[in-house]
A = this chain, B = another copy of it.
């Protein structure tokens, strides 16, 4: 193995199963799958989606839109509210591809609408419970104002409403996620019934990995935009969106030192590799789940072991019941990341089991 350590290994087979699962679900539910590519940020991983018929994608920044456009993606929604400083680059890009943007409030819209001089599709972001950005679904006054403001610029076409039911990240278990989901669908149904007469081609765009993984019903929606499902991660497994066996990326780390007395293993794999995203498992801080690695694939998680602390380059694995007593410096372990989107962003590249490299949008091209 000539690539340097630690590296991010992607299991392409799991990845394709995850894509197939979501593509089939969308197809059965008769909604468009417009996957969010912010998780992998990779042209090479993006290619895997094509065989499932994906041609329309979601991204979270202008730089990401430019990057995927350069790889032949011709229909992109930037699902991050428009900021006036983005206008020039967005309009340049919109001259070459179908590009949709979102506006999150009248104030947000007012700041930019005047500076758009290229054809753009516009969604109004609505909030169905996350409370991050977006207009309340029942705020008809602001929505009407935004629709009028959009109409004031002939380059911009109102397409519909977009939401992220990100409150699904705050709950655990299928029942709780489906409750968030049903609540969101009910709100969106009211929104559609209010506006559908005036806009018969209204698009309702929805998406987050927990609800899209666990729900089968997507009534009243036109498209879903989950992203994380391509790789999944420890956080998703705790929400209940996936099983840990579906996680498709792992950080391959060399063991640096061992302390069987303290039941501790130190690996080269820290905050600059995994990110400092943290979850709690059985009351313990967890920065990653530990698996064995045979040089090609990783094992099921090692019971009674967790990445319990991270510094910039060091990862500390704590274990009990002698789980890793046999490990020695130079051995390789695989760490399933808590949040795969951030681990990919930290690592800046991935490799498959054959050593093929999967590029990620470089930091200095953003």
The reply to whether the CB of A354 lies closer than 8 angstroms to some CB of chain B is no
CB atoms of A256 and B108 under 8 A apart:
yes
A132 beta carbon closer than 8 Å to chain B: yes
Given contacts A108-B257, A111-B329, A314-B132, contact A277 B271 (CB under 8 A): yes
B5 touches A342 (CB 8 A): no
Of B80, B254, B256, which is within 8 A of A104 by CB? B256
Q: Which residue of B83, B266, B276, B328 is within 8 Å of A254 (Cβ)?
A: B83
CB A363 to nearest CB in B, in angstroms, measures: 3
Asked whether A107 and B328 contact (CB < 8 A) given A272-B342, A341-B312, the answer is: yes
Query: Are A342 and B271 in contact, with the CB atoms below 8 A?
Result: yes
Q: What residues of chain B lie closer than 8 Å to A186, measured between beta carbons?
A: none
Question: Which of A14-22, A56-64, A68-76, A218-226 lies at the binding interface?
Answer: A56-64
How far does the alpha carbon of A132 sit from the alpha carbon of B366 in the complex, in Å? 35
Chain A interface bracket (under 10, 10 to 19, 20 to 34, 35 or more): 35 or more
Please, which residue of chain B has its CB at the minimum distance from the CB of A277?
Answer: B276
Residues of B within 8 A of A104 (CB): 256-257, 266
**Is A182 in the interface zone, CB < 8 Å from B?**
no
Q: How many copies does the complex hold?
A: 2
Q: Is A311's CB within 8 Å of the partner chain B?
A: yes
Q: Which of B85, B89, B328, B363 contacts A362 (CB 8 A)?
A: B363
CB–CB A83/B312 < 8 A? no
CB distance from A330 to the nearest CB of B (A): 4
Within 8 A of B (CB), among A115-137: 132-133
Is the Cβ of A363 less than 8 Å from the Cβ of B342? no
Q: Is residue A38 within 8 Å, beta carbon to beta carbon, of the partner chain?
A: yes
Choose among B111, B275, B277, B330 the residue that contacts A328 (Cβ–Cβ < 8 A): B111
> Which residues of chain B are near A366, meaning CB under 8 Å?
4, 348
Pair B133/A313 contact, Cβ less than 8 Å:
no
Contact of A246 with B by CB under 8 A: no
Please name all residues of chain B whose beta carbon is closer than 8 Å to the beta carbon of A108 when the two chains form the complex: 256-257, 329
Q: Are B329 and A272 in contact (CB under 8 A)?
A: no
Cβ-based interface call for A81 (8 A):
yes
Residues of B within 8 A of A110 (CB): 329
Q: Is A166 interfacial (CB-CB < 8 Å)?
A: yes
- The answer to whether A83 touches B363, judged by C-beta atoms less than 8 angstroms apart, is no
Distance in angstroms between the alpha carbons of A258 and B89 in the assembled complex: 23
Enumerate A137-153 residues with CB–CB distance to B below 8 Å.
none
User: What is the bound-complex CA distance between A65 and B347, given in angstroms?
Assistant: 18
Please, could you name 18 A-B residue pairs with CB atoms under 8 Å apart, sorted by A? A4-B366, A60-B312, A60-B313, A61-B268, A81-B256, A83-B256, A83-B330, A107-B329, A108-B329, A110-B329, A133-B314, A271-B277, A275-B276, A276-B278, A312-B345, A345-B346, A348-B364, A349-B363
Sorted from nearest, which 7 A-B pairs have the closest CB atoms?
A348-B363, A111-B329, A84-B330, A276-B276, A111-B330, A83-B254, A349-B364
